[in-house]
Amino acid sequence: MPEQHDGCGRECTICDEERESQPRIWAGRKILLISISAALLLTGLIFEFILKRRFEAEILFISTAVISGYEIAREGLSSLLFRRRLSIDFLITIAAVGSFFIGHGEEGASVVFLFYIAEFLEEYAAERARRSIASLMELAPEEATVKREGREVKVPVQEVDVGETVIVRPGEKIPLDGEVIRGISSVNQAPITGESTPVTKQVGDVVYAGTINNEGFLEIRVTKRSSETLLSKIVKLVEEAQKMKSPTERFIDRFSKYYTPSVIFLAVCVATIPTFVFGMPFKEWFYRALVLLVVSCPCALAISTPVAMVSGITSAAKNGVLIKGSTYVEEINKVRVFAFDKTGTLTEGRLEVTDIISLGHPEDDILRIAASLEALSEHPIAKAITEKAKEKGVKLMMVDNFKAIAGKGVTGEIGGVPYYVGSRRLFEELSADFPDKEARLLENEGKTVIFVGNQGKVIGLIAVMDRIRDTTVLTMNELRRRGVKTIMITGDNERTARAIAEKIGIAEYHAELLPEDKVNIIAKLSDKYGYVAMVGDGVNDAPALARANVGIAMGAIGSDVSLETADIALMQDDLSKLPYLIELSGKTLEIVKENVIASILIKGSFAVLAFPGLITLWLAVAVGDMGLSLAVILNAMRLSLIKSSIPQTKD
């Protein structure tokens, strides 16, 4: 179904079948008709004012009006007869016919011709928005090179099944979502995430349709069909977002609904009252009524908001931020508090070894013993310790009689000597001597301390910590600079939460929270500050994201749940997109305000000037409609220039 061009009463053609399938043919046809009409109108003006051959001029003016105005008249009558709506097309038709009726054929032809150009510009803006979605779809290639029966064959991506292996050579686009099963290469993910630095992909890593393989040879096992890829979901979300209306757009809709009938009533009064009440010339006041009809059409006002919102949403999508509707473009500008989950949001959600404290043994021996035991465990802390040993080139030893002690640690024999790796509680139960002072210092820094020792004493300490993201501190500083309060809400213990909050500069935090506790905190913040945004991973934080005025999910590139639960999704783990989002929202609303004010002032001024007869019909359309519509569209296009202001750092 085509979408109504609110207030104007014309059909907006974002989804029009003709334009959907053959946009170049549609545009070419319109431009051809405009060119023919321009030639006829210019020739008619020459015959009228230079050659003084009025009959031939009238024929040319009528021809111009028929060619330019056929679709306008058809749409205007259709709107009146079938939808019971007084559309701008109907007003223009009345104005053109009335102009010919009172002997101003040149103005009637000019009105229709200029309005036809204005209509084309508005439809082109809608087409441009549709093409911005199509350009996202075009990121993925139409064909894929697939390994079948030992041979490489090129097939349409729609025919590739899950589980098949596709081959991507250097410089080629990855056709479908999948997992690398052979090869290593850097992949440019900018088309999906907006990140500028290529990401190294090797066996086991996930890759996405539409991203670009830079220099290596990759074999990829397909995990999603073409209709289910991340890119397809992004396109669908942006399409749906463009259909959702913000409060400002809904207000403009309601305003336009009553505006057009009021203008027609006023025009009828202008045409009749001076003549029948005061005896003034009917022809003169009828002409002024026609000018009032034309100059008061609400098209520029009606598109002033949606064209800016669509531009903002598509610009954000190209920068790795998915906004699920213009409502959230408005609401993010009202947010005064950002509440952040800690793990996976402010931090990377990945533990790393930060300290190895030796107590009479070499550090490598402490790490070797701990890693040898932890290599047999699946705990996240165990993984961090074994990765540190691998990084330092420490060789592991054989472990006998390994045993996991639930909630406390692990034990096993190395070279016939029993060793323990675990928590403070484990060594307290062993009655072993351990350095409480050193452990407390590490714990006060928000680190988790792992004790390494035997039954008699602790021989070393290993501290692990969730790594703070590179952009976290810069983002918090930038948000505070913009007058936004930042709060951390986390399920972590009080000590860890306090240490992280101090490091990143967050004054207020709430620790040891269950998911339902986070919802209650968001509710209290909403009561206190009004508008609150919640930033989380979109999985554990789903209830809190839903309760906030704006829910923002981190790292949605790796989570289908994030795309579904959040109002706004950051495609990569990049907090610096938040200040960008605030700037984009503010700039979008600023442009909406500029467009609305310009539309009202210019049209209002022209309407006032129409009463004393200072505005002609062709000027009303050329400046008050076509010119204003073009200005509104060009103003909205400036949103594509906004970029993230925080420099990103990479390891």
Same-domain pairing of 359 and 408: yes
In angstroms, rounded to a whole number, what is the distance separating the alpha carbons of residues 302 and 8?
Answer: 7
pLDDT digits (tens, 9 = 90+) for 286-320: 888 888 877 777 767 777 787 788 888 888 888 88
* Same-domain check for residues 121 and 8: yes
Q: Amino acid letter at 603? A: K
Distance of alpha carbon 290 from alpha carbon 210, whole angstroms: 53
Domain end among 446, 467, 488: 467
Residue 647 lies in a domain: no
111 is a domain residue: yes
Assess whether 533 and 572 both reside in one domain.
yes
Mean pLDDT, rounded, for 463-467: 87
Choose, from 6, 16, 89, 341, the residue flagged as catalytic. 341
Residue 153 within any structural domain of the chain? yes
Helices (H), 398-471: 424-429, 436-444
Is the domain of 269 the same as that of 121? yes
Q: What is the pLDDT of residues 55-101, one digit of tens each?
A: 999 999 999 999 998 998 998 888 888 877 777 788 788 888 888 88
Q: Is residue 401 part of a domain?
A: yes
Q: Are residues 449 and 389 in the same domain?
A: yes
End position of a domain, from candidates 405, 440, 467:
467
Q: Are 562 and 595 within one domain?
A: no
Say yes or no to pLDDT of 436 above 90: no
Active-site annotation holds for 177:
no
561 shares its domain with 605: no
Does residue 523 form part of some domain? Answer: yes
For residue 280, being part of any structural domain is answered with yes
- Same-domain check for residues 207 and 281: no
Do both 43 and 128 map to the same domain? Answer: yes
The mean pLDDT value for 138-162 works out to: 89
Can you tell me the distance from the alpha carbon of 44 to that of 64, in angstroms, rounded to the nearest whole number? Answer: 9
Q: Is the residue at 648 inside a domain?
A: no
Whether the Cβ atoms of residue 423 and residue 452 lie closer than 8 Å to each other: no
Out of 444, 467, 490, a domain closes at 467
CATH number of domain containing 166: 2.70.150.10
% of the chain exceeding 70 in pLDDT:
84
Residues 154 and 276 in one domain: no
Q: Are strands 185-188 and 212-213 parallel, antiparallel or unpaired?
A: antiparallel
Same domain, 115 and 241: yes
Query: For the ranges 205-219, 348-362, 399-413, 609-623, which has the lowest average pLDDT?
Result: 609-623
How sure is the predictor about 386, in pLDDT bands with cuts at 50, 70 and 90? very high
Per DSSP, 457 falls in state B
Q: CATH number, domain at 522? A: 3.40.50.1000
40-52: b (≥16 Cβ within 10 Å) or e:
bbebbbebbeeee
**Helix segments in 163-226, DSSP class H:** 190-193
Total domains in the chain come to 4
Task: Looking at the structure, tell me whether residues 447 and 375 fall in a common domain.
Answer: yes
Domain of 151 in residue numbering reads as 143-228
pLDDT tens-digit profile of 468-513?
888 899 999 999 999 999 999 987 778 888 888 998 999 899 988 8
Which segment, 193-202, 508-517, 574-583, is predicted with the most confidence on average? 574-583
User: What is the distance between the alpha carbons of residues 373 and 636, in angstroms, rounded to a whole number?
Assistant: 61
Query: Higher confidence at residue 568 or residue 25?
Result: 568
Q: Which residues contact 499 (CB under 8 A, 6 or more apart)?
A: 444, 445, 446, 447
Residue 112 backbone phi and psi in degrees, to 5: -65, -45
600 occurs within a structural domain: yes
